[in-house]
Amino acid sequence: MSGNTEGSPPFTCQKLSPDTPSYAPKRNETFSISVGMGFEDSEAAYNYYLSYAKRMGFSVRKEHLRKTKEGIIRSRRFVCSREGWRKRDKRDIHAKVYRAETRMGCEAKMAISLHKNGKYRVSHFHPSHNHELETPSKAFLLVDDRRSKEQEADVNMRQRFIKVYAHTAHLKQVVQLYTPEIYALFEDQYKRGIDLVYEVCEERMDETIYLVFDDPQHAHKVTFNSVDTLALCTCKNFEFIGILCRHVIKIFLHNQIRCIQDRYILQRWTREVAKICSLIQCDATIKCYRFKEDQS
């Protein structure tokens, strides 16, 4: 379905001359997309199409990309977010939460290609949609809501199917808590810590100081208190990044500490906090947009 939202300027598709200058939209200016229209770079083209989509009442997704041997973008296609059809995920039979279906084979798109002058030009433009378009303000809210739901479902899906390196007590504990990215960092430290060599450097009452070797020439001191299982390492990985280092993990394994205490699980790296932050960001964006609408 092709259409124009009420109160929005018309969009045209006209063939321009090869010398058409690069064009960037300005506020309150009539938008048009034309085969041959030029842009300084691919990102400028993408931002222009986003502005067009906002006025028309649909959302955009980056699609097909081709690069030169030097890594320069040769061509790119931007499509309606409802383009194509979602591929069936073999893991769906195990899923408890399913993502909402948002794709319906829409063919609306804008394609750009690199010109010999180093700029990008619109090589193809298809304005028609096979679904109803929303008013700009309503479309903005729906797009954010759809993205928020899809992102949350994607996060849940990735977390549900994280491949664990080994079913050890430590890994089974943190895989339930950390986001996939942070879990990957922890697992890397765990794998590197298993085979590290250590030696006792000093012993005092309930405290032991270990030397943990990365290699024969490099070692870090780990001070371990057996009463409160407090461990401090001179590498400062936990202080700087917020994830236990391989040296402390090695000492925990040596002392058969099977459960990582809460003090070493920073809330900002957990799945629950990541989900809350995503929802807060989405809500703040919507409120900001509504405020701008009220002021206009």
Per-residue pLDDT of 42-66, as tens digits, reads 889 998 998 888 888 888 888 888 9
> When comparing pLDDT for 74 and 292, which is higher?
74
- The reported pLDDT for the residue numbered 231 is 95
Out of 33-37, 62-66, 197-201, give the one with best mean pLDDT: 197-201
Q: Is 49 inside any structural domain? A: yes
Say if residue 208 is in the same domain as residue 117.
no
Number of domains in the chain: 2
Nearest to 158 by CA among 185, 144, 188, 178: 178
239 vs 224: CA distance, rounded Å: 16
Angle among Cα 25, 28, 34 to the nearest 5 degrees reads 40
- The reported pLDDT for the residue numbered 2 is 40
CB 81 within 8 A of CB 145: no
Q: How many CB atoms lie within 10 A of CB 253?
A: 18
Q: Determine the structural domain holding residue 85 and report its residue range.
A: 1-133
Say if residue 4 is in the same domain as residue 128.
yes
270 vs 155: CA distance, rounded Å: 12
Say if residue 175 is in the same domain as residue 115.
no
The amino acid sitting at 43 is E
Percent of the chain with pLDDT over 70: 66
Say if residue 180 is in the same domain as residue 227.
yes
Helix (H, G, I), strand (E, B) or coil at 101: coil
286 vs 281: CA distance, rounded Å: 9
Say if residue 128 is in the same domain as residue 196.
no
Residue 223: pLDDT over 50:
yes
9-37 mean pLDDT? 52
CB 233 within 8 A of CB 245: yes
- Rg over CA atoms, the chain: 27
264 vs 270: CA distance, rounded Å: 12
